[in-house]
Amino acid sequence: MTSKAMSLSYLQGKNGIFSWIFSLDHKRIALLYLYSILTFFITGATLGVLMRLELLNPGKDLMEAQTYNQVFTMHGVIMIFLFIIPSIPAIFGNFFLPIMLGTDDVSFPRLNLLSWWIYIIGAIMALSTLLWGDGPADTGWTFYAPYSVKTGTNVTMSVLAAFVLGFATILTGLNFIVTIHRLRTPGMTFLKMPLFAWALYATSWIQLLATPIIGITLLMITAERVFGVGLFDPSIGGDPILYQHLFWIYSHPAVYIMALPAFGIISEILPTFANRTIFGYKAIAFSSLAIAFVGYFVWGHHMFTAGMSGTARIIFSVMTFLVAIPTSVKVFNWVATLYKGSINVQPPLLYALAFIFQFMIGGLTGVVLGALAADIHLHDTHFVVGHFHYVMFGGTGFALFGALHYWYPKMWGRMYNKLVANIAFVFLFIGFNMLYFPMLVLGLMGMPRRYYDYLPEFHVPNMISTYGSWILATGLLLMFGNLIAGAWRKREPIGRNYWKTGITLEWQTLSPPPVSNFDRMPVLPKNGPYDYDNKPEIEE
Amino acid sequence: MEHVSGFSLPNSGHNRDAEASKMGMWLFLFTEILLFGGLFIVYMVYRSLNPEAFLMASFELNVWMGTTNTVVLLVSSMTIAMSITAIQKGNRKLSIQLMVLTLVAAVIFMVVKYFEWSAKIEHGLFPGQAVYDNLPPGESLFFFLYFFMTGLHVFHIIIGSVVIGFAIHRTAKGRTTKEKYTLTENAGLLWHLVDLIWIYLFPLFYLIH
Amino acid sequence: MALGGFNLDLFVSPVLPHSLKHLNIMSNQKDLKTEGKKAPEVHISSYKDHFNTLLALLLLTFITVAISVFGANLRSLSVFTALLIATVKVIVVAYYFMHLKYDKKLYTWLLIIVVILFVSFTVLTSIEYLNR
């Protein structure tokens, strides 16, 4: 008891603004990231709701075509670069990676803080495009040349913002890799690491090795706009498709930057609420690396209709199918983990289950798009929009919400209202599927993406989709409201292991954790991180 | 780290860990390799699409200046490597002298580069100048890539020099010692990378004959 | 890409100390080596080794320039040989100057993986362009 009374939580102690924005504590930096990332998420979501509102009826409802172009670009830039790429690694990776490894911080705490500052600078640059000149870029978040070189909107600033944000990503990835190599607690070998750490390890390698390519590509776009060299202009020997190659060499692996950490979250949530060991630990761990590796070689499937050579299309198509294998290995393992578990249905588990369901739809529609013949028909239709929202929002987004509900008691030492959390989940689940499933249908019917208008025959599914967006927005408000309201709820005893069945190291420390993460030496289970048969006894 | 309750974790992120710093440096070098890698891909594609134009354009470059710079960089690579040997042997003074020699080499490199670039700009070959705008397809790409890649490389030379400057400062202050020479070692790694990039840039731009 | 890259964790410190006093973090920098763990033997390359490495590199440079300037009739070979020689030079620099030979094998393996990755990018891209 005495040690408990003396341990200062990371939330206590100095609490002025400077003690936060200059903090080197990975937990405080994680919260800085959390609050800034969620702010941008809400901004992006608002833009999304506005787009759906425009598409409620055929014809112009709300905004001009040009405005719509800028809104979907801004929505993409915010959601991709400011929300989903940093999201899980920067928030939960920062907070829990050191704790799960049994150490007190990342390897380079100052670099960690620097990465948050770079992120904020990049975010300000990206948002500043709203305020001056011809407004934000209207190119789509992909900045495809040659249009991105010719348009008068603020493409240069958006591109530089993405470049700066790349630094933040690289620094976080670099930090995590070194942390995992150097700071595991004695006795924790690579194969005794929690699966979330494995997922972050694979993610970090992608962040480190893919981001420089987009960096240099975006610099080339900038140079082209400043000097007018015509680098991607066919009339002087350039090639616009080369831009697409370079862009997707980064941006396809970036999809796994978004997805892999989510896989890690699910692999943490499921054993806790099934109260049994994870099925196929090694398969899940290594499939993360396999996805990371194979994911580098599939970028061409974004360009099947761009005029690539036939041979290359076939190679990229085959490689794309290959990625489905390690991914489905994971899904089978998750389902098998639930089998014969004693399942405790709690809000985090609901999000995990929704993740599996939605991610399956997202993944399988991805296989459809990876097939050459089908892609000719579906390319640039709403099918694609539906597909990647199922992967990114239905997958990563829901995993993020699940993680928030899972680690909430650990992070703040408080608890949200579970009933409201469940209701919010129902809204989110129904709203999400109502919003995006019609898009798959619309795509098959032939409705192209990125238009503010459509033919009358597409009306009904668009209406359903827009109604869905309202339900989803309600769910989001309810969920965030409930999580925020948790701060004022009467404290209930949280204890170290709120869910009782958590087994990774973060459940052995206080809630919220002390500044140096542990008040006593964490004990590793005998046979790996999910060894429920030899669970270490945790006294309060 | 030390804790109020007297408990401390064995592996702390706040310990000094030279190996971690070196690993971080290597990871950073990997990002640099891929940064330039993207440009090499662009070079490869455009050279294969415009082989004759690249050949013609490369005649504008001065092989002897390129060779001089190659030799200068290789020598500087040796001096920085030797300065690490010196500090490992505890010879701070020699280590500083060798790092200063490296900086001298960096200055020579940049002076040569300055003359090379000014000659090109005098001929109007910089993007946006009159001659450049009227170059046949492909040749303008060659010159754009030439300026972009060597420019980015010179930028790294400057950054590397600044880092070496810090290393000199620290060694002079006595904060880099026989036991603790991480900064010198990392400065060396960065400098060698700058050299590695040049080793590829040199034949690809100057030696197409 | 180079900012913050050296010594990797250095720059921000002047801004910070006031916010950290209560965390008691900065005062604790201990040297891992002094903490019971025995320091691994560090290999020190000799000055002579470095000089010999330089000689080898200069020789390779001379060869590649000579082939290019005087061997114009070998043109079809020149890109290939030039890249081959450059690669040999790079390996020499990485192996001796960058100390890979004496460091943990981990670094060599990681570097190899990175190179494989980059080569795969170029190969895939060239497959695309060669079959247009």
Window 46-65 of B, Cβ < 8 Å to C:
48-49, 63
pLDDT of residue A415: 94
Residue A293 and residue C116: Cα distance in Å, rounded?
A: 11
Residue A336 and residue A407: Cα distance in Å, rounded?
A: 24
Q: Let me know the angle formed at the C-alpha of C11 by A203 and B37, rounded to the nearest 5 degrees.
A: 45
Q: Is the pLDDT of residue A293 over 50?
A: yes
Query: Across residues B94-109, what is the average pLDDT?
Result: 97
**What confidence tier does C48 reach under pLDDT thresholds 50, 70, 90?**
very high
Q: Which residue has the tokens 């497959």?
A: C127
Q: What percent of chain A has pLDDT over 90?
A: 84
What domains can be seen in chain A, in order of their start residue?
20-534 (1.20.210.10)
Nearest CA in chain B to A108: B13
Q: Is the pLDDT of residue C14 over 50?
A: no
pLDDT of residue B126: 86
Residue A286 and residue A224: Cα distance in Å, rounded?
A: 41
Query: Across residues A133-156, what is the average pLDDT?
Result: 90
Q: Is the pLDDT of residue A319 over 90?
A: yes
pLDDT of residue B207: 85
**What confidence tier does B173 reach under pLDDT thresholds 50, 70, 90?**
very high
- Residue A63 DSSP SS3: coil
**What confidence tier does B8 reach under pLDDT thresholds 50, 70, 90?**
confident
Q: Is the pLDDT of residue A4 over 70?
A: no
Q: What percent of chain B has pLDDT over 90?
A: 69
What domains can be seen in chain B, in order of their start residue?
19-206 (1.20.120.80)
**What confidence tier does B14 reach under pLDDT thresholds 50, 70, 90?**
confident
Interface confidence, given as ipTM, is: 0.93
CB contact under 8 Å between A231 and B45, yes or no, is no
Q: Is the pLDDT of residue A310 over 60?
A: yes
CB contact under 8 Å between A107 and B24, yes or no, is yes
A113-129 pLDDT, tens digit each? 999 999 999 999 999 99
DSSP conformation class of A503: -
B177: contact with C, CB 8 A cutoff: no
Query: Across residues A406-427, what is the average pLDDT?
Result: 96
Query: Across residues C2-16, what is the average pLDDT?
Result: 38
Other Cβ atoms less than 10 A from the Cβ of A187: the count is 10
**What confidence tier does C74 reach under pLDDT thresholds 50, 70, 90?**
low
Of A292, A429, A427, the closest CA to residue A352 belongs to A429
**Set of chain A residues whose Cβ sits within 8 Å of the Cβ of B7:** 3, 518-521
CB contact under 8 Å between A296 and C13, yes or no, is no
Residue A514: phi, psi to the nearest 5? -70, 170
B182-193 pLDDT, tens digit each? 999 999 999 999
Of A425, A416, A424, the closest CA to residue A351 belongs to A425
- Residue A514 DSSP SS3: strand
Q: Is the pLDDT of residue A539 over 90?
A: no
Nearest CA in chain B to A232: B141
Q: Is the pLDDT of residue C17 over 70?
A: no
Per-range mean pLDDT, top range of A100-104, A488-492, A530-534, B57-61 = A100-104
Of A366, A385, A359, A365, the closest CA to residue A462 belongs to A385
C72: contact with A, CB 8 A cutoff: no
pLDDT of residue C76: 57
B82-100 pLDDT, tens digit each? 999 999 999 999 999 999 9
pLDDT of residue B125: 86
pLDDT of residue C26: 38
Residue B167 and residue A93: Cα distance in Å, rounded?
A: 33
Residue A512, preceding peptide bond in cis (omega within 30° of 0): yes
pLDDT of residue A461: 96
Query: Across residues A49-62, what is the average pLDDT?
Result: 93
Residue B188: phi, psi to the nearest 5? -60, -45
pLDDT, averaged across chain A: 93
A216-254 pLDDT, tens digit each? 999 999 998 888 787 888 877 789 999 999 999 999 999
Question: Terminal CA-to-CA distance of chain B, rounded, Å?
Answer: 61
Of A186, A215, A242, the CB nearest to B10: A186
Residue A276 and residue A272: Cα distance in Å, rounded?
A: 7
